[in-house]
Amino acid sequence: MKLLPYSLLILCFACSEKSAVVYEAEKFKFPNPVDTKTKEIAYQEKTTYTAGSVIATNNFPAARLNDFSQVNDTLFRATISPENTPINQSPWYAFKIWSAQEQSVYVELNYTEHDHRYHPKLSADGDNWQPIDSTLVWLAEDSVNATMQINIGPDTLWVAAQEIEDHKRVGDWVNAMAQSQYATAKEAGSSVQGRSLYFLDIHNGEVKDKPTVLIISRQHPPEVTGYFAMQAFVETILDNGAQNGFLDKFRVMVYPLMNPDGVDLGHFRHNTGGVDLNRDWAEYNQPEVLQVANHMVRETMSNNNNVALGLDFHSTYNDVYYTFDDSIDPKYPGFTKAWLAQIEEGLNLDDINEAPSGLGSPVSKGWFYQQFGVESITYEIGDGTPRDFIKTKGEVSADAMMNVLMEMVE
C-alpha cells in the first residue's frame, strides 16, 4: 500500500513548553510539469455600449463582452476576447442587451481567439435560462464565429454561453445546503481579489476518525454543467446519507468554487494570475490551489481522517470519467470499477465512457493520489448534456458512491 507523503512542519519556540504542528500539502513532481507562475491578464473594461438603437453591457459579475458595435441596420457585433493566451478552447461570453423599441436583431459573436463552442442561452432575469432555438444560430463557414437572431426591447435580455453561476449564486447554494443539520458552511481561504473559497463540511456526529471524501468543482469558470452535477451529487449525499448510515461513518469535504475570481471576471479558463488552476497541483504557485490543498491536508490530518476518495467535477464536450489505469495502485483498488458499474446500471447506459490514464500533468486527479494515495476521478459533463439528465446522473452517482464505499472502507 502506498505510504502517505504528508509534510509536517513543527514550529518550536525557545523557552516554550508548547509546540504547534502545522500540516501542509507536499510538493510533487509529475511526468509532464507545467509552468504555473503568475502571468499577466487583460482585464475587460466594465462598461455599457450604445450601438445605434441597441444597448449592451458587461457591468455585472461573470460578464464577458470586450466590445459591441453596429455593422448594419440589423447586425451587431459582440467582440469576445480571452483574459490571456495561450488558453484552452472555451470562449465564454455573457452580456445584457436591450433597446427602447421592440425589434429583431442579429448579434455576431466575434471571437478574437478560438472557435465558437457554447450554444447561447437566454434569460429574462439572470436566474432562469433556456437555450436559444438552434434554427436561430448560424456558424460561420470556418466555425470561428456564430451569429444569433434575438428579439429585444425595453426589458433586459441576458445572453450567455452557459447559465450564470457566479460567486454570490454559489454562496447562496452553499448557505442553503448549510441549513441541513449535517452540513456546515465555512471558508477555506480567499482568492487574490478577496472572494471566499467556500467550504462545506458534511458529516453526522463527531468529525474525528471518519474516512473522508474530498470534492472540488469550478477550477475553470465556464464549466457550469460539471458544477450542476456536483450540486446534485452533494444534495443526494445530504438527502440520503443520514438514512443509509453513510454520514455516520464518513466525512465529506466540498469546495464548490475553486476559481471565484475567474468566474466573476468572466474568464475563459484562468484565475487572476492568468493560470489554469488544474495544472498547479504540484508547486501551488496560485493561492487558490495552495489554500485548498493545505486546507484538505490540515483538516484530514488534524482530525485523523483517512481520505478514501477524491472527485473533481468539470465540463467538456461529452460526458466522460477520467480515471486511473492499471499503472496506479490506489488505497482501495476496485472502487472505480464497482462505482462505474453501478452508475451504468442505474442510468441504463450501454457505455459509461471511461478514459483511464496514469500520472501526467499536475492536475487534481494525480494530486489526490500523490498526496493521499487514493483513487481519484475527474467527473466530466458535456457542455450540452440535458440539465435533467445531469441531475439524475449526479443523484445516481452519489448513491452508487455511498454504496461502494460503505462496503469497501472499514
pLDDT at 364 over 70: yes
Pair 276, 349 in one domain:
yes
Contacts of residue 111, Cβ cutoff 8 Å, sequence gap at least 6: 80, 81, 91, 144, 145
What CATH number is given to the structural domain containing 119? 2.60.40.3120
Dist CA 231 CA 256 (whole Å) = 8
Confidence of residue 113 (pLDDT cuts 50, 70, 90): confident
Pair 358, 403 in one domain:
yes
Pairing of strands 146-152, 137-139: antiparallel
Which whole number is the average pLDDT over 145-150? 96
Assess if residue 183 is contained within a domain. yes
Pair 129, 175 in one domain:
no
The answer to whether the CB of 293 falls within 8 A of the CB of 358 is: no
Pair 207, 324 in one domain:
yes
Instruction: Please write the tens of the pLDDT for every residue from 54-81.
Output: 999 999 999 999 999 999 999 999 999 9
Assess if residue 109 is contained within a domain. yes
Assess if residue 280 is contained within a domain. yes
Pair 156, 176 in one domain:
no
Instruction: Please write the tens of the pLDDT for every residue from 42-59.
Output: 999 999 999 999 999 999
Pair 315, 177 in one domain:
yes
Q: Helices 387-408 and 224-240: crossing angle, nearest 10°?
A: 50
335 to 253, 332, 405: CA distances (angstroms): 19, 6, 8
Which whole number is the average pLDDT over 347-359? 96
380 to 63, 78, 355: CA distances (angstroms): 24, 29, 11
Assess if residue 57 is contained within a domain. yes
Pair 263, 280 in one domain:
yes
Pair 306, 279 in one domain:
yes
Q: Final residue of a domain: which of 160, 187, 210?
A: 160
Domain count, the chain: 2
pTM: 0.94
User: What is the predicted pLDDT for the residue at 20?
Assistant: 62
Pair 251, 317 in one domain:
yes
Dist CA 76 CA 82 (whole Å) = 20
CA 365 to chain centre: 14
What CATH number is given to the structural domain containing 288? 3.40.630.10
Assess if residue 35 is contained within a domain. no
Assess if residue 66 is contained within a domain. yes
Q: Write b or e for each residue in 323-345: b if 16 or more Cβ atoms lie within 10 A of its Cβ, otherwise e.
A: bbeeebebbbeebbebbbebbbe
Assess if residue 41 is contained within a domain. no
User: What is the predicted pLDDT for the residue at 410?
Assistant: 76
Q: Final residue of a domain: which of 160, 175, 201?
A: 160
Pair 132, 116 in one domain:
yes
CA pseudo-torsion sign 220, 348, 366, 190 = positive
Assess if residue 1 is contained within a domain. no
User: Of 29, 31, 5, which Cα lies nearest the Cα of 359?
Assistant: 31
Pair 240, 369 in one domain:
yes
H/E segment holding residue 43: none
pLDDT at 319 over 90: yes
What range defines the domain where residue 128 resides? 48-160
CA contacts within 13 A on the Cβ side of 339: 26
Which whole number is the average pLDDT over 105-133? 96
User: What is the predicted pLDDT for the residue at 12?
Assistant: 38
Instruction: Please write the tens of the pLDDT for every residue from 272-301.
Output: 999 999 999 999 999 999 999 999 999 999
Q: Final residue of a domain: which of 96, 128, 160?
A: 160
Contacts of residue 354, Cβ cutoff 8 Å, sequence gap at least 6: 320, 321, 323, 336, 340
Pair 188, 153 in one domain:
no
